[in-house]
């Protein structure tokens, strides 16, 4: 497999290639795959500091953070606000997974984070957007969501739950093509696993794989960074507007200049979110 040049050693790259082949198989089968220990604890602590700082600023700005259910928010950010952005998106596993699944012209279209706090409830089972024809008909994945936890996840922290293999479910008849009817819940519960990533782990999923955040009982919030990557034409770039300063753009390695979909501006604007996911505003009971 051809992979992009990154500032990493050839040895590290070839070790990563083996991991990537297995991960691609797993992704196609289960709808999610992971690379354990991609980053150090210290690196993730820094990420968590960035996230918490941005969260407390965003929550005070109208449209800065959007509700994804009680005591749970999503905040979309500009790349420069996350100090590890370049290291994360040039990690060999990130680049190789994106290229292997989405082709050589993949597009990095979105960066943000989810953050549930104590008291967050079950979300309804959902996918993050409707399935395109390429997926429900041809079983092709045309976009990826990379997730990186900013804490070691415990059972009390309302872990992320995902129903393996459901990325291929058609879903065109569902509410907003994203929310399966309640009578399908047992099917998802049967296939579901709860994920307990540790600081430094990086996962990659199709956002079509049916999932939910679960009830959060811990005093410790569970922030998770999300990076959205598209195959050309998948259409999500049009929903976002990443902005970077000239100095930041010029400092980027060529591989990111190629793949990051962004505008170069004087001063990146904080993101005002216009669209919430209507179905995620309320919590539901566990068996929904
Ligand atoms: O709690 C999580 O980790 C995921 C939340 C989620 O799936 C969403 O808000 O769309
Ligand atoms: Fe979701």
Res 275: pLDDT? 66
Q: Is residue 279 part of a domain?
A: no
Query: For residue 150, what are the CA distances in angstroms to 41, 45, 254?
Result: 9, 7, 27
Percent of the chain topping pLDDT 70: 95
**Is 2 within a domain?**
no
**CATH number of the CATH domain containing 35:** 2.60.120.620
Average pLDDT of span 263-287:
86
Query: What separation in angstroms does the CA of 116 have from each of 128, 178, 198, 272?
Result: 17, 21, 17, 20
The confidence score (pLDDT) of residue 96 equals 96
* Within a domain: 115: yes
Domains held by the chain: number: 1
- Asked if residue 277 belongs to a domain, the reply is no
Q: Is residue 284 part of a domain?
A: no
Q: Which two tokens stand for residue 242?
A: 């990443």
Ligand 1 atom, smallest distance to 147 CA: 3
Residue 86 in domain? yes
- 175 falls within a domain: yes
Give the E-state strand segments of the chain in sequence order.
Answer: 32-35, 66-67, 72-76, 107-116, 143-149, 160-163, 192-194, 202-205, 211-213, 224-230, 243-245, 263-265
Distance 284 CA to ligand 2 centre (A): 14
Model pTM score:
0.94
Structure confidence by residue, pLDDT tens digits, 191-237: 999 999 999 999 999 999 999 999 999 999 999 999 999 999 999 99
Tokens of 92: 């060999």
Closest alpha carbon to 145 in 76, 94, 81: 94
> Domain span at residue 138?
14-270
| Structural domain includes residue 227 | yes
Residue 21 or 9, more confident: 21
Q: In the structure encoding, which two tokens stand for residue 287, read together?
A: 């068996």
The answer to whether 219 touches 122, Cβ cutoff 8 Å, is no
Q: Of 69, 110, 114, 282, which is best to mutate to test ligand 1, by the most ligand atoms within 8 angstroms of its C-beta?
A: 114
At 64-83, the pLDDT tens digits run 999 999 999 999 999 999 99
Rounded distance from Cα 226 to ligand 2 centre (Å): 10
Neighbours of ion ligand 2 (CB under 5 A): 128
């Amino acid at each position: 497999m051809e992979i992009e040049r990154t500032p990493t050693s050839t040895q590290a790259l070839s070790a990563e290639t083996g991991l990537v082949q297995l991960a691609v198989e797993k992704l196609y089968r289960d709808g999610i795959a992971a690379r354990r220990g991609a980053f150090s604890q210290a690196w993730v602590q820094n990420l968590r500091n960035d996230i918490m700082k941005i969260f407390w600023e965003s929550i005070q700005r109208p449209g800065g953070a959007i509700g994804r259910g009680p005591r749970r928010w999503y905040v979309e950010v500009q790349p420069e606000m996350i100090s590890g952005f370049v290291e994360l998106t040039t990690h060999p596993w990130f680049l190789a997974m994106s290229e292997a699944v989405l082709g050589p012209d993949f597009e990095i279209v979105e960066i943000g984070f989810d953050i549930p706090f104590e008291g967050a409830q079950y979300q309804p089972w959902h996918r993050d957007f409707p399935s395109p024809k390429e997926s429900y008909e041809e079983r092709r994945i045309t976009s990826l969501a990379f997730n990186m936890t900013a804490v070691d996840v415990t059972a009390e922290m309302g872990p992320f739950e995902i129903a393996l293999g459901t990325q291929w479910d058609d879903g065109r008849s569902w509410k907003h093509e994203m929310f399966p009817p309640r009578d399908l819940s047992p099917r998802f519960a049967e296939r579901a696993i709860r994920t307990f990533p540790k600081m430094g782990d990086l996962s990659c999923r199709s956002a079509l794989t049916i999932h939910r955040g679960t009830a959060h009982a811990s005093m410790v919030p569970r922030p998770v960074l999300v990076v959205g990557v598209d195959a050309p034409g998948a259409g999500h770039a049009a929903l976002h507007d990443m902005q970077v300063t000239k100095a930041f753009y010029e400092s980027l390695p060529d591989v990111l200049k190629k793949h990051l979909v962004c505008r170069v501006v004087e001063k990146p604007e904080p993101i005002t979110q216009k669209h919430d996911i209507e179905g995620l505003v309320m919590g539901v009971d566990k068996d929904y």
